[in-house]
Amino acid sequence: MNENISLNEIGKKIIFHIDFDYFYAQCEEIRKPELRNIPSVVCVYSGREEDSGVVSTCNYEARKYGVKAAMPIRLAKSKLKDIEAIFLPTDMPYYHDISRNAMRIIENYGELFEQVSVDECYVDFTKITNSDFDDAKIFANSLQKNIKDKIKLTCSIGVGPNKLISKIASGVKKPNGITVVSREDAKSFISNCKIEDIPGVGPKTAKKLESLGIDSISDISNKSIFELRDALGYKTATFLVNASNAIDYSQIKVRGTSKQIGKIVTLKKDIANFEQINLTAASLCTSVYENLSNKGQAFRILTIILILENLQHVSFSKSLKLYSASFDELHKNSLFIIKEMINNNSISLDNIRRMGVVVSDLKDISGQDSLVNYFEN
DNA sequence: CCCTCGATCAC
DNA sequence: CCTCATATCGAGGG
């Protein structure tokens, strides 16, 4: 795997994982401090019916009543019945602004910096701390305070010898916490975690492990990659066996532009007809195309995703012969694929709940005419 | 090796 | 009750 990095170097690393606390809801508190004292819930409204959609994030006041991310809005409302609470729609551009400012501060501290998402990043602190975990704790404090002073944003920080340990550690004390797990403590730290604490292990993987009689991290560490490979695949098996021993060779990598651009929407229930499908496809393509051309990129792979009423996902993709930066080509191909999907899978129109368009295999074409097809070589 | 499709995760 | 965007993996077919 990372042949160019000696074990010695890996063995000395100090990695921070920084996680902004209850991020969207905290952003809302920053501009509306009165939200701090009452439950506030930031929601993704699907528009399908009144209050259909899910909770994106909520503040800790709301969590006291059992409200959680990904919970249906209606359920959240029932939990906060008769309680003074605020429900807000997401405002992504605003959250991205705050994120950008905070990330800039973090980036300036460190050596290698990897932004994982709008509210999460890794930073390598090996050199600055001279591989000393006591020093690291001081840096973590300073970083946390700095972000709080400049952005008014609290975060939780995990410090560990690799990405895996720091990521789990950042979740231990929240909000506004710091958890340091030294190299020496890493093995016992991970042994005391639950299997689902390992990032990448969700309900499905946990279930598979359970069916193999594995329900603790030490159970995994007693297995070989070979024993897990059939059930989980080689990559996951390798990752898990290493993880259960607090080993993670994955490197911090500076992320460039995204590898795919997509847009997915929920359809309104009462308008299932071809015209609506066409309109939705056009609007999805417009949105994706706008994003693509803002980034000055062309695409080669187009994927259409349909989510049916029974929540089953169906996706079809198509590789173009050449890279394209043409809206017409995106639009035409999207419509073509959607029609194929409906025909081939005998999907009736009123059976489609959500529809998405994703482009991938992207290529920079800045400086070239983005309105005509771009021919490689 | 490339293509397509689906699954999974986690936000 | 059930969002949205992205990354990654694997299988199966060429």
Which of A33-47, A244-258, A265-279, A319-333 is predicted with the least confidence, judged by mean pLDDT? A265-279
pLDDT of residue A371: 42
Query: With 50 as the cut, is the pLDDT of residue A4 above it?
Result: no
pLDDT of residue A377: 30
Considering only residues 71-110 of protein chain A, which place a Cβ less than 7 A from any atom of strand C? 72, 74-75
Q: Work out if A258's Cβ lies within 7 angstroms of strand C.
A: yes
**pLDDT tens figures, A314-371:** 999 999 989 999 999 999 999 999 988 888 877 888 889 999 999 999 998 876 544 4
Cα–Cα distance for residue pair A357/A359, rounded to 1 Å: 7
**Nearest-nucleotide field for A356 (CA, C1'):** C4
List A29, A61, A120, A329, catalytic entry: A120
- Distance in angstroms: CA A322, C1' C13: 22
Task: Tell me phi and psi for residue A61, to 5 degrees.
Answer: -60, -45
Query: With 60 as the cut, is the pLDDT of residue A7 above it?
Result: no
- Distance in angstroms: CA A239, C1' C8: 13
State the pLDDT confidence band at A8, using cuts at 50, 70 and 90: low
pLDDT of residue A367: 63
Tell me which DSSP letter residue A193 carries.
S
Considering only residues 34-63 of protein chain A, which place a Cβ less than 7 A from any atom of strand C? 44, 46-49, 52-54, 56
Query: Mean pLDDT score of chain A, rounded to an integer?
Result: 90
pTM summary value: 0.91
Q: CA quadruple A276, A279, A283, A285: dihedral positive or negative?
A: positive
Whose CA is closest to A120, among A83, A158, A146?
A: A158
Which bases of chain C are contacted by protein, using any atom under 7 A from a CB?
1-11
- Distance in angstroms: CA A44, C1' C10: 32
Query: Where does residue A95 rank: exposed (0-12), middle (13-18), buried (19+ CB within 10 A)?
Result: buried
Which residue is the nearest neighbor of B2, CA to C1'? A319
Cα–Cα distance for residue pair A338/A325, rounded to 1 Å: 20
- Distance in angstroms: CA A289, C1' B5: 24
Residue A120 falls in the annotated catalytic set:
yes
Task: Please give the domain boundaries of chain A with CATH numbers for all domains.
Answer: 7-22+94-185 (3.30.70.270), 23-92 (3.40.1170.60), 189-244 (1.10.150.20), 260-364 (3.30.1490.100)
**pLDDT tens figures, A137-193:** 999 999 999 999 999 999 999 999 999 999 999 999 999 999 999 999 999 999 999
A69, A58 contact by CB (below 8 A): yes
Query: With 70 as the cut, is the pLDDT of residue A373 above it?
Result: no
Q: Determine the number of helices (DSSP H) and then strands (DSSP E) in chain A.
A: 15, 13
pLDDT of residue A368: 58
